[in-house]
Amino acid sequence: MAYKVPRPNLTFAEKIYLPSVLAGLKITLGHLWRMLRGKTHVCMQYPEEKWDSHLPDHYRGAPTLVSDEFGRTRCVACQLCEFICPPRAIRITPGEIPTDDTFAKVEKYPEQFQIDMIRCIYCGLCEEVCPEQAIFLKKEYAIARTSRAEMMHNKAKLIEMGGLQPGVVNKWNEKK
């Protein structure tokens, strides 16, 4: 069944269209005038003005490796994040912890841990899958460098970005 859209009954002023042109101009020029006097402030001038202080806690920025209260990198090189990462941005080379180490029972540590920030899509799956709460997406978002090599975050860089983060997982502590 065809539905007939009723045509609006236009007044003469609406039909000749010019009054509505003037009304439209009034609106747009009003905006222009308010902008010119600096009354409207909608846009942020990005590098100079930032939204950083308003970022929520769950903001997903660059993934980083965090350390526990002993300064030990939490990661146990289980490689779960490497497998789940959708764009395969993570590369881990596991290493063995020597038996005379305090944390010898952890057995494995990442000898190398690389995240290719050209590939990373900031999905946060690595943070979610990690059984050790070792990898977190921090609030760093302006990852822009001038070469591919610089976009490759290595272990040192990741640890430095992650910093200390005492967490709930403390199964490797001596006290237990």
Partner 1 sequence: MNAILQFLSDPLPFLVWTTLAKSAGLLGVVLVMVSYTVYAERRVSSLMQDRLGPNRTGFPTSLLGFGIKDWSPFLGGLGQPIADALKLLLKEDFTPAYVNKFYYWIAPGLGIGAAIISLAVIPFGSSIAGVDMVIANVDIGPLFVFAISSLGVYGIVLAGWSSNSKYPFLGAVRSTNQLISYELALGLSIVPLILIIGKLNLVEIVSYQVQNGWMLLPGITAKAPHLPTLEQFLTWIPVFIAFLVFTISMFAETNRLPFDLPEAETELVSGYHTEYSSLKFALFFLGEYTAMITGSALIVTLFLGGWHFPGIPDGSAAGWLGVMWGLVNIGVFLAKVVAFLIFFIFIRWTLPRFRYDQLMKLGWIWFFEIALVNIFITALIVTYVH
Binding site for ligand SF4 (CB under 6 A): 63, 75-81, 85-87, 89-90, 92, 115, 120-126, 129-130, 132, 134-135
* Of residues 35, 42, 92, the one with CA closest to residue 63: 92
DSSP 92-111: EEEEEPPTTSTTGGG-EEEE
- End-to-end Cα spacing for the chain: 76
CB of 33 to partner 1, least distance (A): 9
Q: Which is nearer to partner 1, 49 or 140 (CB)?
A: 49
C-alpha separations of 166 from 23, 67, 78, 159 in Å? 61, 7, 20, 14
Note whether 13 binds partner 1 by CB under 8 A.
no
Binding mask 30-69 for partner 1 (x = CB under 8 A): -xx--xx-x-x-xx-x--x---------------------
What 8-state DSSP symbol labels residue 171?
T
| Amino acid of residue 7 | R
Size, binding site for partner 1 by CB under 8 A: 17
19 binds partner 1 (CB under 8 A): no
Cα gap 25→142, rounded to integer Å? 40
Is residue 29 involved in binding partner 1 (CB under 8 A)?
yes
86 near partner 1, judged by CB under 8 A:
no
Contacts with partner 1, residue ranges (CB under 8 A): 18, 21, 24-25, 27-29, 31-32, 35-36, 38, 40, 42-43, 45, 48
